[in-house]
């Protein structure tokens, strides 16, 4: 019973279909990462402008840098699980 849990399932899709699916998943993840960085930058700058009357560039760049590093790493591990 336990051995059956770890057996590989037969692949239904061909190698070309699989590579197309992987390329599509990577493209969608890249668009999501770029979109999220733009979203954080726009709403971060807008929120600071409304709250303080100015935009703190250092804090904004730190936040964008943090999102730019952490989000792609998380997306990489999520994509590895789906492959």
Domain boundary assignment for the chain:
23-82
pLDDT, tens digit, for every residue of 8-56?
A: 545 666 777 778 888 888 888 888 888 988 999 999 999 999 998 998 9
Q: Which residues, other chains included, contact 33 with Cβ-Cβ below 8 Å and sequence gap of 6+?
A: 68, 71, 72, 75
Q: 68 burial class (0-12, 13-18, 19+ CB within 10 angstroms)? A: middle
Report the predicted TM-score, pTM, of the whole model to 2 decimal places: 0.66
Helix (H/G/I), strand (E/B), else coil: 10: coil
CA 16, 22, 27: angle at the middle one, nearest 5?
A: 125
């Amino acid at each position: 019973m336990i051995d059956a849990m770890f057996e590989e399932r037969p692949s239904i899709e061909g190698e070309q279909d699989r590579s197309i699916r992987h390329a599509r998943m990577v493209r969608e993840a890249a668009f999501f990462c770029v979109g999220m960085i733009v979203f954080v930058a726009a709403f971060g700058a807008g929120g600071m402008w409304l709250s303080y009357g100015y935009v703190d560039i250092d804090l904004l760049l730190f936040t964008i840098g943090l999102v730019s590093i952490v989000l792609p790493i998380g997306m990489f591990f999520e994509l590895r699980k789906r492959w």
